[in-house]
Chains A and B, each alone.
Chain A
């Protein structure tokens, strides 16, 4: 009997009736067909472009653009030394990871021993910092002008998109958490206000809201000559907001290091507090000592170095205010539109996340004698986070994608700059390809980061 089955098995191994064989064949056929389709599309496209005399390829990225971008910043262009910098970051991370694995294998945690913590910090921060100081050519910063290449123009667009998305995500999160928690407030007025905000904002398309901020609010601010002027420090008109701009002076780097050291100090202070509490149940003060460490030490260094930052103030010269920090009206409108809209969405996510934590948890926490704020901070929010993070990820993706609406009000993000380059160079397919690749990469990066965070926040079974 067994013999027979084995015989049959052998025959079936390469037979059409074997599902495994069929599946492999199907898959090969599919791959070939898809590959053939892709190849045909590519061939057709190239042939059609050539027939119509349309330029193709990526060499256009080096051509001088000739047009201005309204918002530029110095963007890093990589140099050969970048490879060693990146490798040192990776090596540091790998070393820290190996250390972590090794320690866990021995049944301890990195956090358990201050020497291990210091070693980890050394691997992750100090090793790259040293490489940075030793390597000269990691990157150069270039600022786009009309004499720059299309390529630099695109990079500038990407950075404007990033500038928009990161601040948008941060603001939306802050708004979302405040409003989400406010909606559950026992204070009737606070809860109603939060609800009204969410219900109105959530149901108006974000583009309309951006238009509202840009055309109905910022456009109607006074003209340059009639600017609202707060002591020449803070100026506002329909060309934007003007603030003093801090420019770092030579002593700025040591100050940053002092700040970093202070952060490490706070971390150890927190460890100490926890250790004392675990041992004796005594709660040492946390907030004020931490603030003291964060302010006093860097503050002393700051003064010792003679305030290594200079403020440049906006001045009215000729047509415009110049100098100082000047977020443009387009940027401001985009930022308000995106963060207020996505803030309302996040508020709902936060509310539902909190409500998903069963009341039993809260009651149990109170029964243990925890006070209101602690119940929220120690029991409810950590559990709610597990419900909140996945939909929060799609909100962050949404902020990033919606930043492309900037094109509608003249904010020069990637789609807007890409569109201009497409028009001037005529290379539609290449530009659209690059744009898609950038958005895909951004989305993947956000997803990877949020998945990692989600993993970290998962319920740890003890």
Chain B
């Protein structure tokens, strides 16, 4: 009898769950607010982008964007490490609210996987790394090589495309996390390590002797890496998009972590006034406080600061701005106007 009561209860619970979606501006934002924390999906470990430092604090380029987003919402941030395979089910199922996890914006992810991309925070492309003493100078010399690669990535797909279209053979050895890929390559399980060029620089910086490895000149794909959210909650997508844009606009306008609080009071630039909530209603329009952008910029600084602090020339990754320079300075980083 008890069992049958349980069944009945379970059925009612299911029906209730099925029909109990409240009408709200952004269900995602609502649940973040009531929880008091943003759940941000990041990598399990990728130097410069998302890694736990000696004291166990998450640091890195993607981590900073999570922090900025949480600051704009006025909530705490909870980091959820995911490997490449886990990240999409984690986002689909609501285990994370947003992925800031070097995720490439592709058509199938945008459509059949049910996501929306809120922009691009790093323009990248896939490269190859080999041991210096192998004598290999070009990706065209890789016929017959064994390649270590991360499962569930665009990387493994591009790898297949590249070798196929160049009539070359290869043997893929596929691991679940970037760390496993790096360690296998370092131990000589593979001749080649392939991932996004930024990922290669990050992984090389984590190797025993980074100088023993070189990144080949060929870039074989486009990898626009950006934040992904679930399709269907457009208001939430707008928030993520505009927090990212605010960080980019901050660099255009010369707002920094240090000066932004002062500028919020003293600026004469109408667009900056609107962005920082002195005039206009952009905060309201997004469903946020008027000082949302101010809080985000105060937290992490502008795009250039985030870049230089985590992955720029002075860091072990030593990445150049390249494509990720502002459009006005020869790059393609370009944020729509705040109006």
**B52 close to chain A: CB less than 8 A:** no
> Which residue of chain A has its CB nearest to the CB of B181?
A410
In chain B between 139 and 185, which residues have their CB closer than 8 angstroms to a CB of chain A? 143-146, 151-152, 156-157, 159-161, 164, 170-176, 180, 184
Report the minimum CB–CB distance from A49 to chain B (whole Å): 8
Contacts of B164 in A (CB 8 A): 146-147
In the complex, what distance in Å separates the CA atom of A308 from the CA atom of B43? 54
**A423 CB contacts on chain B under 8 angstroms:** 84-85, 87-89, 151-152
Return chain A residues, CB-CB under 8 Å to B8.
33
CB pair A37 B7 closer than 8 Å: yes
Contact B108 A426 (CB under 8 A): yes
Partner of B171, one of A40, A70, A223, A407: A70
Q: Does A419 belong to the interface (CB within 8 Å)?
A: yes
A68 & B172 in contact (Cβ 8 Å cutoff): yes
Which of B171, B172, B187 lies in contact with A320, CB distance below 8 A?
A: B171
* CB atoms of A146 and B160 under 8 A apart: yes
- Chain A residues with Cβ below 8 Å from B143 are 318
- Which stretch, A51-59, A355-363, A385-393, touches the partner chain B? A51-59
Chain A: CB-nearest residue to B143: A318
Q: Are A36 and B11 in contact (CB under 8 A)?
A: yes
Given known A-B contacts A51-B232, A54-B92, A318-B144, A420 and B151 have beta carbons under 8 A apart: yes
Whole-angstrom CA separation of A412 from B85 in the bound complex: 14
Q: How many chain B residues touch the partner (CB < 8 A)? A: 49
Residues of B within 8 A of A419 (CB): 85, 151-152
Q: Are A53 and B114 in contact (CB under 8 A)?
A: yes
Nearest Cβ on chain B to A426's Cβ, whole angstroms: 3
Which of B4, B15, B111, B152 has most A Cβ within 10 Å?
Answer: B152
Closest B residue by C-beta to A411: B174
Contact of B176 among A36, A66, A410, A424 (CB under 8 A): A410
Interface 0/1 of B1-24, CB less than 8 Å to A = 000100110110011011000000
CB pair A53–B232 under 8 Å, yes or no, is yes
Name the interface residues of A365-416: CB closer than 8 Å to any CB of B: 407-408, 410, 412, 416
Q: Which residues of B contact A41 (CB under 8 A)?
A: 14
**How many residues on A have C-beta within 8 angstroms of the other chain's C-beta atoms?**
52
CA distance A40 to B4 in the complex (A): 18
Closest-by-CB residue of A relative to B173 is: A70
Q: Which of A51, A52, A70, A320 contacts B174 (CB 8 A)?
A: A70
Residues B189 and A239 in contact, CB atoms below 8 Å apart? yes
Say if the beta carbon of A312 comes within 8 Å of chain B: no
Tell me, yes or no, whether B113 is within 8 Å of chain A by CB: yes
| Interface assignment of A238: CB less than 8 Å from any CB of chain B | yes
Kindly state whether residue B230 has any CB partner on chain A within 8 Å: yes
Distance in Å from the Cβ of B10 to the closest Cβ of chain A? 6
Against A, the Cβ 8 Å flags (1 = close, 0 = not) of B193-204 are: 000000000000
| B3 (CB) vs chain A CBs: closest residue | A30
Are the CB atoms of B176 and A408 closer together than 8 Å?
yes
Taking the complex as formed, is B291 at the interface, i.e. its CB lies under 8 A from any CB of chain A?
no
Flag whether A149 is at the interface (Cβ < 8 A).
no
Check B85 against A410 for contact (C-beta < 8 Å): no
Given contacts A419-B85, A423-B88, A423-B151, contact A30 B7 (CB under 8 A): yes
Q: Kindly list the 9 A-B residue pairs having the minimum CB-CB distance in the complex, ordered from nearest.
A: A423-B152, A426-B113, A146-B160, A54-B114, A68-B172, A55-B112, A223-B188, A52-B114, A67-B156
With A70-B171, A410-B176 known, 10 other A-B pairs at CB within 8 A are A40-B11, A67-B160, A70-B172, A147-B164, A317-B144, A318-B145, A320-B145, A412-B174, A419-B85, A422-B89
